[in-house]
Amino acid sequence: MEKYYITTAIDYVNAKPHIGHAYEKMAADVLARYHRLLGKDVFFVTGLDEHGSKIEKAAKQAGIEPQKFCDQMAEEFKKAWKALDISYDYFIRTTEKRHYKASQEIFARLQAKGDIYKSSYTGLYCEGCEDFIRERDLDENGNCPTHKTKPRSLSEENYFFKLSKYKSAIKEWLQSNKDILQPESRRKQVLNQLDDPELGDFSVTRSRTSLNWGVPVPGDDNQVIYVWLDALTNYITAVGFPDDKVMLEKYWPADLHLIGKDITKFHSIYWPAMLMSAELALPKHIYGHGFITVEGQKISKSLGNVIDPLALANEYGADAVRFFLFSCTSFDQDGDFSKEEMIRKVNADLANNLGNLLNRTLTLVDKNCDGLVPEAITNETLLDQAKATQIAVIEHMSNLDFSRTLESIISLIDKTNKYLNDERPWDSFKKGKTQEGQIVLYTVLEVLRQSAILIQPFVPNIANDIWNQLGFDKSLTELVSTKEMDKQLDPTYRIKPGQKTNRQGPVFMRIEEQVLSS
Ligand SMILES: [Zn+2]
């Protein structure tokens, strides 16, 4: 069976999750669910980066030990991901014992290869970036352009990794296939960075005096492994490195590292260089997505627009949030979250369009066909359009083009609503032209069956509800998890005549109605 190993960036636990963290996890979840639909053996990993001086500081402020602080934060993240239906297979935390072992093992391998050396270094260090920053990259106030804080001068003896040795190999690798790093704009940027002579060896440890909360360097008690080497290693820890060779063999290399555009450099230069040095395979794909702004503004604590994803899911439901974010933003670009826009969009597409189609059709089936799926005679024109939609969805999903995927599905639903309006099956039944009415209802039920499958990765609850109302025994989720989807996606498969449908009312309540009634 084909495997699909997908990872997200691991979030830094110095603060609670916000909508930006959630956006990436939801995207990875959409992809994980989609590949499960295709029958693949999916391993979806997300988790937390729990080391570093910012966490040490935050724990101190909270008056607790760093580990306890991380444990508490981990619960916050897990709670939010549960509310948003993030179906991860493994939640990795870099404070796990086995991750210490993995980080130390990879350090030892780089060292054994002769790619690690000790040297002293003086430079400007930004605590927000957890990285040294060059003078010329500072803004006009002498601050880090990302964090708007002044970097401090830091001088210490560290272990360095010989990135310079791998730069040309990395460049060749990235040029060998356009698909390795996407979108294309990010790939160009990284290729330019590789040409920069100043991009050289980088420090992979910190002295204990500047950072205590981290994985100890094997054989040197005065140093801890620096955040990036530690954090990036999570991707192999999660699949059993170094001890579980069976699992590692099965899932590594990752099929996709899904990350934010700001950390593309670390994932497509530093990480592959370390993997080359450790003689491990390189990831198949890396994708640096755009960011989410809120009501047109960058998410920031000082602007007070940090949206709590848990509260959002509790208020509007995971499906509404997921549907809106992926239909209204282009995944490779920055996108905006606006409550008003979300309500408008989900009311139009999920309540009025999709929900109404199901409800009207099942009402007609109840009234005219005793609630049973009628004889299997179909309108092939509409079903050809459904087939074309499936082909388009596969194409768009392979490009991580979520907005066009949803556009294709919603456009099919539009056409089906129009078909129902134009054909007026209620008139046919009234006039005694039973078969004409049955053709229309059967065709629409079949389109609804296919649409439920296609839209399931985005709105799993609504899809399950449609599935249930169409009268299937097993839930859609159950079919996916027992890998019985094959025939459901076969173009010749059709909903069975005589199946008892199960009308339950709207699959998605218009949002202002919810607000008014609560
Ligand atoms: Zn910074």
**Three-state helix/strand/coil letters over 435-490:** HHHHHHHHHHHHHHHHHHHHHCCCCHHHHHHHHHHCCCCCCHHHHHHCCCCHHHHC
Active site residue 257: no
Residue in 3, 150, 188, 298 annotated catalytic: 298
For the chain, the structural domain boundaries read: 3-312, 339-517
266, with CB counted inside 10 A (0-12, 13-18, 19+), is: middle
Active site residue 147: yes
Residue in 25, 51, 99, 144 annotated catalytic: 144
Under 8 Å between Cβ of 452 and 463 = yes
For 469, phi then psi, to 5°, come to -70, -25
**3-state SS string for 109-125:** HHHHCCCEEEEEEEEEE
Active site residue 126: yes
For 420, phi then psi, to 5°, come to -65, -45
Active site residue 129: yes
Under 8 Å between Cβ of 117 and 164 = no
274, with CB counted inside 10 A (0-12, 13-18, 19+), is: buried
How many Å lie between the centroid of ligand 1 and the Cα of residue 84? 30
Residue in 3, 60, 118, 147 annotated catalytic: 147
Q: Residues 339-517: name the CATH superfamily.
A: Isoleucyl-tRNA Synthetase; Domain 1 (1.10.730.10)
Residue in 54, 79, 129, 250 annotated catalytic: 129
Active site residue 18: yes
The CB-side HSE value for 162 (13 A sphere, CA atoms) comes to 16
How many Å lie between the centroid of ligand 1 and the Cα of residue 331? 25
How many Å lie between the centroid of ligand 1 and the Cα of residue 136? 13
98, with CB counted inside 10 A (0-12, 13-18, 19+), is: middle
Could you tell me the CA-to-CA distances from 385 to 375, 391, 413, 451, 476 in Å, in that order?
21, 10, 10, 12, 23
Residue in 21, 51, 257, 267 annotated catalytic: 21
How many whole angstroms separate alpha carbon 232 and alpha carbon 283?
12
Q: How far is CA 72 from the centre of its chain?
A: 23
How many Å lie between the centroid of ligand 1 and the Cα of residue 258? 22
**pLDDT in single tens digits along all 518 residues of the chain:** 899 999 999 999 988 999 999 999 999 999 999 999 999 999 999 999 999 888 988 899 999 999 999 999 999 999 999 999 999 999 999 999 999 999 999 999 999 999 999 999 888 988 887 777 888 889 999 999 888 999 999 888 999 999 999 999 999 999 999 999 999 999 999 999 999 998 999 989 998 887 889 999 999 999 999 878 999 999 999 999 999 999 999 999 999 999 999 999 999 999 999 999 999 999 999 999 999 998 888 877 777 777 899 999 999 999 999 999 999 989 999 999 999 999 999 999 999 999 999 999 999 999 999 999 998 888 889 999 999 999 999 999 999 999 999 999 999 999 999 999 999 999 999 999 999 999 999 999 999 999 999 999 999 999 999 999 999 999 999 999 888 887 888 878 999 999 999 999 999 999 985 555 44
How many Å lie between the centroid of ligand 1 and the Cα of residue 120? 22
Active site residue 298: yes
Amino acid identity at 420: L
Residue in 25, 70, 126, 257 annotated catalytic: 126
How many Å lie between the centroid of ligand 1 and the Cα of residue 188? 23
How many Å lie between the centroid of ligand 1 and the Cα of residue 125? 8
Cβ atoms within 10 Å, residue 296: 9
How many Å lie between the centroid of ligand 1 and the Cα of residue 393? 39
Q: What is the pTM of this model?
A: 0.94
Could you tell me the CA-to-CA distances from 129 to 52, 53, 54, 143, 234 in Å, in that order?
11, 11, 10, 12, 19
Listed in sequence order, the residues at least 6 apart from 297 whose beta carbon sits closer than 8 Å to its beta carbon are 303, 305
For 66, phi then psi, to 5°, come to -55, -40
Does residue 52 sit in helix, strand or coil? coil
For 307, phi then psi, to 5°, come to -85, 130
Token readout for 101 is 């072992």
Q: Is 3.90.245.10 the CATH classification of the domain at 3-312?
A: no
Task: Tell me 14's DSSP state.
Answer: T
Residue with tokens 């460049």: 171
Active site residue 267: no
